[in-house]
Amino acid sequence: MTQVLRHRDILQDSAQIHLTRATLTTARPRKLHDHDFFELFWVQNGKVRHHLPDKVETLTEGDIVFLCPGQIHGLQGRGEHALVVSLCVHPTTIKSLAKRHPGLSGHLFWSDDGPVQSHRDIRQLAALNHAAVLLERSTCDTLAAEAFLLPLCADLTADNYPTGTPPWLATACTAAKDPAIFREGSAGLVALTGKAHPHVSRTMRKHLGETPSDYINRIRMTHAARALTTDADPVSQIAADCGIPNMSHFHKLFRAAHGVTPLQYRQKYQRHIVQPS
């Protein structure tokens, strides 16, 4: 029989959220558990086996999982020092956020395809842990719960990847917005996934409707357009900063993206910013 955890046994008084840190043993859970609250947990250290009714997934440091009531699961450490941080969130808070922020629909707690998994890199994990410390020091009321959840949810849904996009692909696409990555072209994006280029290309076409090169070039042209109106660097320098030293190719990509040449774009929009018409 599945054990059911209830928020009334965890959330005291007016609390809307509760944080727990747990070191997991390597023993397989005797049975999976359900809960009547929304649960969020992330792997703080080590590796974790996430047991679901139909499969077992291995999670590593920085992996974060969102679960809704009725999504049965269990956790098991892999090796020593497997540490997770887990949050119990009252259903009222989650329903209120969904009502006030329609953009959350279809994502994270509000996805029809759960549990939803994402990932935080070292920098993002540090920020998440800082927010967790602030939460622990708070009264854990509605304001504290939203102060923790909203920045995280806004960050994770900023790119608004279609439902069903594999976490590894969403994570790589987000990271590829760093100039250090997109300067390397599609190869930089593919390297982030740790998977073969043909597999990444097929997966991107299926879920995002574009190839790795299409995606990277779109980011490059967005970066170039911003630089043309905010910097005084020569167009050739901006092209090089995008990872495209071939000026003919850069002009072709830029015109396809924005409908004008880089110089025309600069003359039009930089003038409007400095001296609005």
pLDDT at 1 over 70: no
pLDDT at 245 over 50: yes
Tell me, what's the pLDDT at 17? Answer: 96
Q: Please work out, in degrees rounded to the nearest 5, the angle formed at the alpha carbon of residue 208 by the alpha carbons of 109 and 189.
A: 100
Tell me, what's the pLDDT at 276? Answer: 45
- Model confidence at 74, in pLDDT bands (50, 70, 90)? very high
The closest of 64, 85, 89, 91 to 145, measured between CA atoms, is 89
Contact 81, 23 (CB under 8 A): yes
Tell me, what's the pLDDT at 253? Answer: 96
Tell me, what's the pLDDT at 13? Answer: 83
Tell me, what's the pLDDT at 220? Answer: 96
Instruction: Tell me the per-residue pLDDT of 159-208, one tens digit each, with 9 for 90 and over.
Output: 777 777 888 898 899 889 889 999 999 999 999 999 999 999 999 999 99
Which pair of structure tokens corresponds to residue 123? 């920098």
Q: Hey, is 265 helix, strand or coil?
A: helix
Higher-pLDDT residue of 88 and 2 is: 88
pLDDT at 273 over 50: no
Tell me, what's the pLDDT at 121? Answer: 81
Higher-pLDDT residue of 202 and 158 is: 202
- Model confidence at 157, in pLDDT bands (50, 70, 90)? confident
- Model confidence at 274, in pLDDT bands (50, 70, 90)? very low
Q: What is the residue-averaged pLDDT of the chain? A: 90
Report the distance separating Cα 217 and Cα 113, nearest Å: 30
- Model confidence at 271, in pLDDT bands (50, 70, 90)? low
Tell me, what's the pLDDT at 277? Answer: 45
Instruction: Tell me the per-residue pLDDT of 56-66, one tens digit each, with 9 for 90 and over.
Output: 999 999 999 99
Tell me, what's the pLDDT at 119? Answer: 83
Instruction: Tell me the per-residue pLDDT of 108-119, one tens digit each, with 9 for 90 and over.
Output: 899 887 788 888
Cα four-point dihedral sign 101, 103, 105, 109: negative
Tell me, what's the pLDDT at 149? Answer: 95
Mean local confidence (pLDDT), 33-61: 93
Tell me, what's the pLDDT at 275? Answer: 46
Tell me, what's the pLDDT at 272? Answer: 55
Contact 108, 100 (CB under 8 A): no
Cα four-point dihedral sign 245, 226, 230, 186: negative
Contact 76, 29 (CB under 8 A): yes
Neighbours of 144 (CB within 10 A): 18
pLDDT at 94 over 60: yes
